Chains A and B, each alone.
Chain A
Amino acid sequence: MNDWPARRDALITGLLEFMPKDCVLHEDETMRAYECDGLSMYRQLPGVVCLAETAFQVQAILRLCRRLQIPVVPRGAGTGLSGGALPHQQGLLLGLAKMNRILEIDVDNLCAVVQPGVCNLALSEATRPSGLYYAPDPSSQIACTIGGNVAENSGGIHCLKYGLTVHNVIGLKIATMDGELLEIGGKTLDTLGYDLLALLCGSEGLLGVVVEITVRLLPVPEQAQVVLAAFDEITKAGNAVADIIAAGIIPAGLEMMDQLAIRAAEDFVHANYPTQAAAILLCELDGANAEVSESIMRVRQLMLDAGAFEVHTAKDEAERVAFWKGRKAAFPAVGRIAADYYCMDGTIPRRHLAMVLTRITELSGEYGLSVANVFHAGDGNLHPLILFDANEQGQMQRAEALGQRILELCVEVGGTITGEHGVGMEKLNGMCTQFRPAELSQFHALKAAFDPSGLLNPGKAVPTLHRCAEFGAMHVHGGNLAHPELERF
């Protein structure tokens, strides 16, 4: 709309009526920190930034924006990897990181009540003295917030056994775009009526703004142990994964890295990885002492039977931590060997792993860009890291095009374009590949049931049919998009 400057002034004036001055940012230099999330290739200065401190403020902010017809983009710690918190040029960026209090740790009822800005790891640290922890552990857990985890339905390395955020959230308070507060669930294991908790988890801030969360806590396992196995062929590692699951074992974590990722990680943190391996598997088992000891022996044997040339059980806690350090540092490690990298997030049925990795290698050659693969092998969530140099003319566009091809490949074999990072701004075109117009229309209708004005995080997560038509048309003419820098619909 062309009256933006006037509405912006009205927004700032309106906010300052009930917000402390230091919570309303509108100068370019103070807003700079909010211009992108973890996907830094997309940047946009917001119209205004407001940092909420209470649920009551969130409601008032939304009411004001609703009245002024100003879009609102909610943001937690800004660690998201799909541009879900990318600001709107003529919108309000609503920061929730200041709402960072743990309101209650209810040991008897095995749950905790937190504000949305509580850091994921801080929650488990606070509950650990009571022998309890919060299971979902995304790699960004030292920084990411529980509110952001709800918006993205975040996973982590333990989700095969312990589930995603949706499996661990039992209550939510959300503010709607009208400023109404809705209470859904609580300290119970289910809710009356529709399962709105399931719908809100992973809704990427399009349906409501989360202002309070009740999560389940689990007893800290008595024991955790990890096995590292090295293979000379990726197929053998893939078979080992299938054999472990088929044997009735559900590992707490089951991770695979390919050679490029292994070497990068080893150079970076010296985790004592076998760098000559084509692939390594890390398999963690947790639970009671007796069960873990037994299962470790079975897993070792299954790995050897599948053709591992080296199997190594961590001899103590220090070595276990070292094994994981290499895996957790895989992204930054790859960041050291390339100027830039682009992290993909497809999920595939595991049985197609070898085929998909072979195809990725071919595509990598075709586009002239290296790809390192890190894989949540237990649940099929693949993270190809595309190495490129943004300073080299055309490389970023090539990386994006290669990424799109990899996601299409995931859909082709029966998988999905995003396992845990969300759609955000990044995978809108991928959504056109995965869903047909009828499903996309259903998503839009569902969003309108929560947010009829369409002001909450507009333009994210679900593409317009128009955009898909345009994308499809261009797509037919070959993989490379013309003028990919242009915003389309």
Chain B
Amino acid sequence: MGGISRIPSLKDSDVDQDLAADLQSQVKEAIAQRNSLAIVGGGSKGFLQSAQVETKLHLAGHAGIIDYEPSELFITARAGTPLAEIEAVLAERKQMLGCEPPHFGATATLGGSVACGFSGPRRPYAGSVRDHILGVKLLNGHGEILQFGGQVMKNVAGFDVSRLMVGARGTLGALLEITLKVLPLPELEQTLLFKCALADAPKRMSALARCSIPLSGLAWAEGHIFMRLAGSEAAIRAAHAQVGGEPAATGASFWQSLREQTHPFFNGSQPLWRLSAPLASKIDVPEGEVCMDWGGALRWWHTACPATEVEDMARSQGGHASLFRDQQPVLGAMPPAGLLSLHQRLKKSFDPHGLFNPGVLGLH
């Protein structure tokens, strides 16, 4: 496959290594020993329960950017590559990961970010982590190295295994390499504020989302709607004239704090629930306990209410809830009861010996 051009400045640095063969032999060893494996990346998401098994499969050393072609809008990197490194390399070429995955710690890796599948404030307007996945290389539970998708935007050959890996938290296999679509950095971003009571916020945000304006974020916190616009200066000026709002001086840091959960709201002492809801659905909880992202479709709620109550409330609105942070590590977005047996069969189809991350997502 000659002629694949590489960017000279992106030569693998000394610390970058290809450990695929080594990882593969560890998996084969585990199969032979009938051991389970806990997949470990940068360890930045300790609030999620990891597999309670002795033997670890460490991915952090399997690092390095393999291919980056700015004009083709993709980047391929090994799973252990630090997320921060990828973002820095993209920024040099005025590009970014459109899904804005949160790091939740300096050690976050690309593989961990994809396995967890969390997306930041830009998600409704630029797409989620899984929306940007173009291909993966992975180790399955037979110890085979498999490759799905590729580096092109459109590819419908075979089932979309690459995207299935997003949010699977390593229960289907260990990600080795990932190719993501990248997007140009906007020329300019501007945040505008609207004073708004919580109860009115979903409807008002829905109205804003229906305008033909270049949205890149829409959230509610601190008694205000925060609206982020992205584009040329003229486009932002025109949108501002159309929908109004007060320019916010600290816009960038607000979005960063929402993405990384460093905003004071997240210091709440009660357990933190994540509610995914139809964006305009009403919200009926005390104002101090909640903030909203994704134009109202993602709601963070600090509450001591029993799990069944929170889950029932989410369901009654056509959404779903999962416990996100608590005193103890949480299980995360477990499959709904009606789909559990299908999940178990799917897991078995990739990992017949139950090797990878047993217990994660409630799956064994």
Which A residues have a C-beta under 8 Å from some C-beta of B? 106-111, 131-132, 152-153, 155, 159-160, 163-164, 166-167, 182-184, 186-196, 198-199, 201-203, 207, 219-222, 242-243, 245-246, 248-250, 287-291, 293-295, 347-352, 355, 376, 378-381, 412-423, 427, 430-431, 434-435, 438-439, 442-443, 445-450, 461-462
Contact = CB atoms under 8 A, between A and B. Distances in A.
A194 B168 contact: yes
A443 B157 CA distance: 11
A306 to B, nearest CB: 12
A446 B161 contact: yes
B71 A245 contact: yes
A187 B278 contact: yes
A199 B209 contact: no
Nearest to B145: A438
A348 B69 CA distance: 14
B3 interface: yes
Given A192-B333, A195-B130, A414-B1, A348 B152 contact: yes
Sort A-B residue pairs by CB-CB distance and give the 3 closest, nearest first. Answer: A193-B335, A248-B184, A198-B163
A106 B278 contact: yes
A415 B150 contact: yes
Given A193-B334, A198-B166, A413-B1, A159 B318 contact: no
Given A193-B343, A198-B164, A250-B184, A160 B153 contact: yes
Interface stretch (B14-22, B41-49, B255-263, B344-352): B344-352
Contacts of B89: none
Interface residues of B, number: 88
Contacts of A167: 127, 131
Contact of B212 (A221, A243, A461): A221
Interface string B152-174: 11111111110110111000100
Contact of B154 (A159, A183, A413): A159
B50 interface: no
A450 B345 CA distance: 8
23 contacts: A108-B206, A152-B156, A166-B131, A184-B339, A188-B277, A190-B276, A190-B333, A193-B334, A193-B335, A199-B164, A202-B159, A248-B184, A248-B187, A350-B71, A351-B71, A380-B72, A381-B153, A442-B161, A443-B161, A445-B349, A445-B350, A446-B346, A449-B345
Contacts of B184: 248-250
Contacts of A350: 71-72
A488 to B, nearest CB: 19
A419 to B, nearest CB: 4
Nearest to B336: A192
A439 B320 contact: no
B311 to A, nearest CB: 10
Given A192-B335, A294-B234, A414-B1, A108 B203 contact: yes
Contacts of B158: 423, 431, 434-435, 439, 443, 461-462
A457 to B, nearest CB: 13
A461 to B, nearest CB: 8
Nearest to A452: B345
B223 interface: no
Contacts of B183: 250
B196 interface: no
B123 interface: yes
Interface stretch (B101-109, B235-243, B300-308): B235-243
Given A110-B279, A202-B159, A291 B72 contact: no
A439 B239 CA distance: 48
Which of A194, A246, A413: most chain B CB closer than 10 A?
A194
B234 A291 contact: yes
A103 B212 CA distance: 25
Nearest to B298: A189
Contacts of B172: 194
Contacts of B278: 106, 109, 111, 186-188
Contacts of A190: 117, 128, 167, 276, 333
Given A163-B127, A355-B3, A107 B210 contact: yes
A275 B255 CA distance: 51
Contacts of B160: 153, 166, 198-199, 201-203
A163 B232 contact: no
A220 B144 CA distance: 46
